[in-house]
Amino acid sequence: MTGLKVAVVTHDEAMKLEVARAFDSAPASWAITLHDSPPGDADVLVFGPDVQAGGGIVFDPLQPSAVVQSVAAQAERSRSTAIVVTSASGGTGVTTLALHLAAATAEWSKTCFVDADVLSGAALRLHLEEGAHRTWADLEEDEDLLKTALPLPHGFRALFAPQSWAGDPFGHAVTRAQARFETVVIDAPFSCPWPLVPEGAATGVLVMSPTLPSAHRTRAFLDEHCSTMWAVVCNRLGPGGEMTRTELERIVEHRIGLELPCTPALRDAEDEGKLLGLRVSRYSRRVVQLARALRSP
């Protein structure tokens, strides 16, 4: 985290000195500057309690030493890639793709898979008993995230969902995962609320089936959530769905970035709890292509 530019914004001269003293323990490579208004080239903004603004860290005079840790955490989050895999309808293969994407990304990046909804069945697909592991709702405030994020033999860690969904604990868990991992892959089934990433930009992977209803639902979803950068994936995992890519793109009014091939053996692997065992297949090769395309430069 070298060369970090931290801008302190406050109109109170005494507060400027107090904030400057709080950064005495910061790394020497950090550049701490004082301002009356937010500059345009700062990596992290720190606001004094007299400034009403968003998008930065508010300095707490009662806990001055906490500001260095907060700045470090925000800087790490900004370097982390969040990939949200979701769909405009159920049954399109979101969880299967999210798990394979996490495994592919783990080849070159420290990766955490976050399960947003227990109904997705992510644990069962990995031959793990549901409810037998701690979830992101069990995270304590000062607890090491790695005590809860389960290491998997496929190279990544997983934070599984509790039986009931809770927005604040989930957002807090994602934020902490972003601070600890280079890539966070979020399995966000259709039933989950949106947006799911509390801070920073995220790349979205929107999965659709090659059918007319799915295409129309996908288009409506894209219209509603147009502020997110989406990679649309057409999943031809099962039989049927003979609509061509051109026909689907005409309805969706968005380029389909990738088509996943029909792979019946993947269904058998799911039932046997060996979902990620088919690493050398047409499906897995396409997922690797997607992971590389989503890779941050």
pLDDT over 60 (residue 198): no
Query: In percent, how much of the chain has pLDDT > 70?
Result: 90
Span 5-35, pLDDT tens digits: 899 999 999 998 898 899 998 888 899 999 9
Instruction: Output the CA torsion 192→193→197→203 (10° steps).
Output: 70
Paired tokens of 232? 């649309």
Paired tokens of 295? 């890779």
pLDDT over 80 (residue 50): yes
- Residue 283: Cβ within 10 Å count: 23
pLDDT at 248: 96
pLDDT over 60 (residue 217): yes
CA distance 23 to 5: 12
Q: Are 110 and 183 in contact (CB under 8 A)?
A: yes
Strand residue runs (E) in 19-170: 31-35, 44-47, 57-58, 81-87, 111-115, 150-151, 157-159
Domain 81-294 CATH superfamily: P-loop containing nucleotide triphosphate hydrolases (3.40.50.300)
Span 77-120, pLDDT tens digits: 666 788 999 999 988 999 999 999 999 999 988 999 999 888 88
pLDDT over 60 (residue 201): no
Pick the residue with more confidence: 98 or 281?
Answer: 98
Q: Are 200 and 81 in contact (CB under 8 A)?
A: no
pLDDT over 90 (residue 233): yes
Of 99-113, 130-144, 273-287, which gets the smallest average pLDDT?
273-287
pLDDT over 90 (residue 234): yes
CA distance 74 to 70: 6
Q: What is the mean pLDDT of the chain?
A: 85
pLDDT over 60 (residue 54): yes
Pick the residue with more confidence: 239 or 289?
Answer: 289
CA distance 23 to 30: 9
Of 94-108, 179-193, 207-221, which gets the smallest average pLDDT?
179-193
Sheet holding 256-260, edge to edge: 150-151, 157-159, 111-115, 183-187, 81-87, 203-208, 229-235, 256-260
CATH of 5-77, one of 3.40.50, 1.10.260, 2.60.120, 3.90.550: 3.40.50
pLDDT at 44: 86
DSSP classification of residue 262: P
Q: How confident is the model at residue 75 (pLDDT cuts 50, 70, 90)?
A: confident
pLDDT over 70 (residue 247): yes
Indicate the SS3 state at residue 28.
coil
Q: Which residues make up the CATH 3.40.50.300 domain(s) of the chain?
A: 81-294
- Residue 285: Cβ within 10 Å count: 12
Q: How far is CA 291 from CA 105, 110, 111, in A?
A: 6, 13, 12
Q: How confident is the model at residue 262 (pLDDT cuts 50, 70, 90)?
A: confident
Q: How confident is the model at residue 187 (pLDDT cuts 50, 70, 90)?
A: very high
pLDDT at 171: 85
H-helix or E-strand spanning residue 68: helix 66-79
Beta-bridge mates of residue 184:
82, 112
pLDDT over 90 (residue 268): no
Q: How confident is the model at residue 245 (pLDDT cuts 50, 70, 90)?
A: very high
